[in-house]
Amino acid sequence: MVKVNLLLNGDVSVRELYVPFAVGDAVKLLGAGVAKTAYAVKIDGVVRDLRTVIDKDGAEVNVELLTFDVDEGRRAYNHTASHILAQAVKRLYPDVKLAIGPAIKDGFYYDFDVVTPFTTEQLTEIEAEMKKIVKENLPIEQYYLPPTEALNALAEQGEPYKVELAKEHADKGEDISFYKQGEFVDLCAGPHVAATGVIKAFKLTSVTGAYWRGDEHNKMLSRIYGTAFPKQSLLDEHLAKIEEAKKRDHRKIGAELGLFTILDEGPGFPFFLPDGMTLKTKLIDYWREIHAANDYKEISTPIMLNRSLWERSGHWEHYKDNMYATKIDEVDFAVKPMNCPGSILVYANKPHSYRELPLRYAELGLVHRHEKSGALHGLMRVRCFTQDDAHIFLAKDQIKDEIKRIVTIIDKFYNVFGFKYSIELSTMPDDHMGDIADWEQAENGLKDALDDLGLKYEINAGDGAFYGPKIDFHLEDCIGRTWQCGTIQLDFQLPERFELEYTGADGAKHRPVMIHRVVFGSVERFIGILTEHFAGAFPLWLSPKQVQIIPITDRTNEYAAKLLTALETAGIRADIDTRNEKMNLKIREAQLAKIPYMFVVGDEEERDNTIAVRTRTGTGGGKFALADIVEKISAEIRDKG
């Protein structure tokens, strides 16, 4: 007999059961309605199928129900949908070779080796076959084969990609896991739901090319993406979000508003156009303002440094494939992929006392990283970007207070843009470096800081960097997508590698702790996120052009020029549209350009020394005296409106 603790949404229900029993049967004891919502389980912390059998007596076992609201439950659901996709494709196109089909965030994909790549038009046919498979409600069964038998079976099926994957397990002497549904069998570790009929609503969303194992030297495969949900209403909501995301695509808006471009002469290297540079500059100005007020000292370090530095920092060994290298005077140099070694050299440039700590260096450093061409995506994934780094050198007993200070700064930044955010604390990984005692002190410092500030956070156990624990900030935009931007990382390793020191109150030499910290993460990527969050309608203080002056006739051009001078004198970014076009067209184009304010001026406005004000939102307009509207706009800018 086993005591079974069934956990769901923090509630625990205890049952005592005789072995053997399938975990799914234990879940049914909570009621048919509850059982239907569980797509997998976590048995003593390990994710497993509902069909898993408990066959050994023991004191107790913890069984957590994984619903669609839980990452692991959602992944099991979508992973099953990917197998249904593969089964449908094999039914329709028997000669297709199967590669991989994992669950991913918000859905799944499957890669196929096919003579002629799939097209969008074929997705409808494949979806129809998937619906047939769901209607058949085929049981999904897991079984294992010894390595040799598994390899022979896959070879007989003519699945070379599966053979390659299976060999990796066979080399370890492991039995190979398979899943079967009807006539379809796939190499897979699972978990999966109990039957194909569990998958209620799905949609194939796109088809694209993908290299086998992400290696551009390998064959190009045909990848079909999809998503699945337990209810049609949830699927409809998700598809509506996808359509909204397409409208907000920063690449499309960036081109329409003239913010940035990426040219064939520099793939992955963005060109900022005048209006985009204004936006970038205003973000950086605000960054500098906040950091100056919080006792950060801005530095600038070289974009290229020699190999010996990168060897000492560990980048040459662990990160070289992502670095751009060259030779100068027969010596290897590398363009920096990160700013931290430069900050360390600045710290090491002179002796330091405990009285200087925490010592806060901030740097807007241009870094370069080699990204594969297939991974490049507008401003979100580039090969060069401005990282808004700060590196803080401090004593161990200062960790808690400094973390609180940093979190407060990051909170201030994100609130300005209206972002909600969640916090994740990642703890010591298995391959960590440094003493356990140091890790415990560091992790406790991070936890205590977050607790003191009353902030909620999730523990991401074992996912810290090898050199220290970290806090990550995940922003939520206006359509519910999340973006990982800010991070705070504690580092014991680089101060050790570079033998950094400070003189303590006791007169002895001590090793400082180093904090790596970013707010934007990448200025370029943050601009991409902001563009999609605001759909290009940036807050007034960030808008490249804040006012468009629209004369109704040429007679009022001189009055318009007077208004422009007054606005520019007040520090308001403005322009005049003097084209020989109709007023309504000019207004419409200003609205499409997302310009916050339009000043429409004609004979009446010039005579009365007033302005007819329109806004892009349609509210807050009307007739204004020049001084009044200038003060209104100036106050909105000061308030970061």
Catalytically annotated residue among 83, 391, 614, 616: 391
Query: Would you say 523 and 284 are in contact if contact means Cβ atoms under 8 Å apart?
Result: yes
Write the DSSP string, 514-570.
EEEEESSSSHHHHHHHHHHHHTT---TTT-S--EEEEESSGGGHHHHHHHHHHHHHT
Of 181, 221, 190, 213, the C-alpha closest to 88 is 181
Query: Would you say 616 and 536 are in contact if contact means Cβ atoms under 8 Å apart?
Result: no
Active site residue 192: no
Catalytically annotated residue among 49, 186, 389, 477: 389
Catalytically annotated residue among 516, 594, 614, 616: 516
End-to-end CA distance of the chain: 64
Active site residue 250: no
351: amino acid identity, one letter? P
Query: Would you say 261 and 275 are in contact if contact means Cβ atoms under 8 Å apart?
Result: no
- List Cβ neighbours of 518 (8 Å cut-off, separation of 6 or more): 387, 388, 389, 390, 485, 486, 487
Phi, psi (rounded to 5 degrees) for 403 = -60, -45
Query: Would you say 86 and 106 are in contact if contact means Cβ atoms under 8 Å apart?
Result: no
Burial class from Cβ neighbours inside 10 Å (0-12, 13-18, 19+) for residue 501 reads middle
Catalytically annotated residue among 90, 203, 368, 369: 369
Active site residue 340: yes
Catalytically annotated residue among 42, 87, 192, 340: 340
Active site residue 533: no
3-state secondary structure 119-182: CCCHHHHHHHHHHHHHHHCCEEEEEEECHHHHHHHHHHHCCHHHHHHHHHHHCCCCCEEEEEEC
> Distance of CA 210 to CAs 50, 98, 111, 206, 215, Å?
33, 13, 8, 13, 9
Of 314, 393, 307, 312, the C-alpha closest to 347 is 393
Query: Would you say 140 and 148 are in contact if contact means Cβ atoms under 8 Å apart?
Result: no
Active site residue 91: no
| Cα separation, 439 vs 445, whole angstroms | 10
Active site residue 525: no
> What is the Rg, in whole angstroms, of the alpha carbon atoms belonging to the chain?
30
Catalytically annotated residue among 181, 387, 398, 548: 387
529: amino acid identity, one letter? I
Q: Where are the beta strands (DSSP E) in 34-139?
A: 40-43, 46-48, 53-54, 60-66, 97-98, 103-104, 107-113
| Angular region, 455: left φ>0, alpha ψ -120 to 50, beta rest | beta
Q: Tokens representing 22?
A: 């399938």
Of 387, 367, 341, 362, the C-alpha closest to 500 is 341
Active site residue 355: no
- List Cβ neighbours of 482 (8 Å cut-off, separation of 6 or more): 422, 474, 475, 476
| Cα separation, 532 vs 528, whole angstroms | 6
Query: Would you say 639 and 286 are in contact if contact means Cβ atoms under 8 Å apart?
Result: no
Catalytically annotated residue among 223, 368, 470, 533: 470
- Residues assigned a catalytic role: 340, 369, 387, 389, 391, 470, 516
